[in-house]
C-alpha cells in the first residue's frame, strides 16, 4: 500500500524507509537530515509525485519485479579497477540481482535507476595549482541501455 509522508516532520528513519519502499532510492543514515529530506523531495519531483499524495506503485499486484514488459536490457561495462570484472549485486524491495558485466541482461527499471544513481567521487591532483585536489563524480557501474528504453516512463526513444 502506498503511503503519504510529511517530510517536514519525518524522522531520518521514516525518510529512509519511505525512500526505499515508495521511491526506490537508497538513503544513507550518514546523510544530514536536511540533505536526506532534499533527496526525497528531488526524487518525488523527478517521479512526478506531489507532496501529500501517495506514489503510484508500478507493476500491479506483483510489484516492480513482476511486470516484465517494463524491464530494460542493460550491459554493465567492465572497468579497469580491481573489481571491474566481478558481477554487480543490486538489491531492491527484498529481491537481489547479481548482474554479470559485459553481458546483456534484462532488469526491472528500478534496478536501472539504482545503477544510474550509484555515483562515486574520484580525486586527482591538479599540477597547475600545485597539487590542489579536484573531485569529480563518475558512475560506480558504467552501463548502457541496450533495449527497453521506449517502455520507460519519462524517457523517449532516440530518433533513428
Residue 57 has pLDDT above 80, yes or no: no
Q: Going edge to edge, which strands form the sheet with 104-107?
A: 104-107, 72-76, 143-147
Phi, psi of 45, rounded to the nearest 5 degrees: -60, -45
Looking at per-residue pLDDT, the higher value among 26 and 149 belongs to 26
Classify residue 84 by its DSSP letter.
T
Confirm if 75 and 102 have CB atoms less than 8 A apart.
Answer: yes
Confirm if 17 and 23 have CB atoms less than 8 A apart.
Answer: no
Mean pLDDT on 117-124: 90
Residue 58 has pLDDT above 90, yes or no: no
- Please report how many Cα atoms fall inside a 13 Å half-sphere around the Cα of residue 32, on the Cβ side: 3
pLDDT value at residue 54 = 61
pLDDT value at residue 154 = 34
pLDDT confidence of 155, banded at 50, 70, 90?
A: very low
Domain boundaries, the chain: 1-56, 64-151
Amino acid at each position: 500500500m502506498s503511503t503519504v509522508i510529511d517530510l517536514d516532520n519525518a524522522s531520518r528513519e521514516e525518510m529512509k524507509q519511505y525512500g526505499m519502499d515508495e521511491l526506490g532510492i537508497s538513503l544513507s543514515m550518514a546523510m544530514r537530515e536536511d540533505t536526506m529530506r532534499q533527496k526525497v523531495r528531488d526524487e518525488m519531483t523527478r517521479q512526478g509525485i506531489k507532496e501529500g499524495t501517495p506514489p503510484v506503485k508500478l507493476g500491479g499486484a506483483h510489484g516492480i519485479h513482476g511486470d516484465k514488459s517494463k524491464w530494460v536490457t542493460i550491459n554493465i561495462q567492465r572497468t579497469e579497477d580491481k573489481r571491474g570484472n566481478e558481477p554487480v549485486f543490486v538489491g531492491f524491495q527484498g529481491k537481489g540481482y547479481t548482474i554479470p558485466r559485459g553481458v546483456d541482461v534484462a532488469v526491472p527499471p528500478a534496478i536501472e535507476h539504482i545503477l544510474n544513481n550509484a555515483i562515486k567521487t574520484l580525486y586527482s591532483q591538479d599540477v597547475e595549482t600545485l597539487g590542489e585536489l579536484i573531485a569529480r563524480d563518475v558512475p560506480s557501474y558504467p552501463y548502457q541501455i541496450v533495449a527497453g528504453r521506449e517502455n520507460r516512463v519519462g524517457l523517449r526513444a532516440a530518433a533513428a
